[in-house]
């Protein structure tokens, strides 16, 4: 479960937008739901106030959780995770590599390590609509 620092949280709701499990609700501040949250950590890098902390787990477990997140997130947003597992595995490795090196899960197919490029990036929904897949081919129609 992520811990949310109430001093830092401004209640912007960005974490809720990227959660695939509906595990966050907003009551002035973001409140995580124990029963729904799988601690995938995908919300962390999206918080503009760095209010979210997620307990570190070993790499294989992280990969498993990110995959679970991707499936859930795609489902609630009406698209799919790329059925090509090699592509998905490569991207997840890339996300973890960027997290280790630059502190957040920035898109491995974009150069700049800025908040807009934290996966799921600000572009993916438009790209899926327009091109049938996000630039990274992580998500497809």
Partner 1 sequence: MDYPKKPVELSDETFTETIQKYPIVVVDFWAEWCGPCKMIAPELEELASELSGKVVFGKINIDENQLVAGQFSISGIPTLLVFKKGKLVDRIIGFSPKNNILARLQPHILLSE
Shortest CB 95 distance to partner 1, Å: 8
DSSP-based three-state secondary structure for 137? coil
Residues that bind partner 1 (CB under 8 A): 82, 86-88, 90-91, 93-94, 97-98, 108-112, 131, 135-138
Q: Which is nearer to partner 1, 1 or 87 (CB)?
A: 87
Shortest CB 108 distance to partner 1, Å: 4
Q: Which is nearer to partner 1, 5 or 126 (CB)?
A: 126
Q: How far apart are CA 53 and CA 40, in angstroms?
A: 11
Phi, psi angles (nearest 5°) of residue 44: -50, -55
Q: How far apart are CA 43 and CA 24, in angstroms?
A: 10
Shortest CB 19 distance to partner 1, Å: 23
Q: Which of 72, 8, 5, 9 is nearest to 37 (CA)?
A: 72
């Amino acid at each position: 479960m992520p811990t949310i620092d109430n001093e830092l949280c401004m209640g912007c709701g960005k974490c809720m937008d990227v959660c695939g499990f509906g595990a966050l609700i907003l009551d002035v501040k973001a409140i995580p739901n124990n029963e729904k949250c799988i601690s995938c950590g995908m919300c962390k890098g999206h918080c503009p106030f760095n209010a979210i902390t997620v307990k570190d787990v070993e790499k294989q477990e992280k990969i498993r959780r990110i995959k679970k997140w991707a499936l859930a997130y795609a489902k609630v947003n009406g698209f799919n995770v790329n059925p090509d597992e090699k592509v998905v595995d490569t991207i997840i490795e890339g996300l973890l590599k960027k997290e280790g090196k630059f502190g957040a899960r920035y898109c491995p197919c974009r150069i700049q390590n800025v908040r807009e490029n934290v996966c799921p990036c600000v572009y993916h929904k438009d790209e899926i609509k327009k091109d049938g897949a996000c630039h990274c081919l992580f998500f497809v129609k």
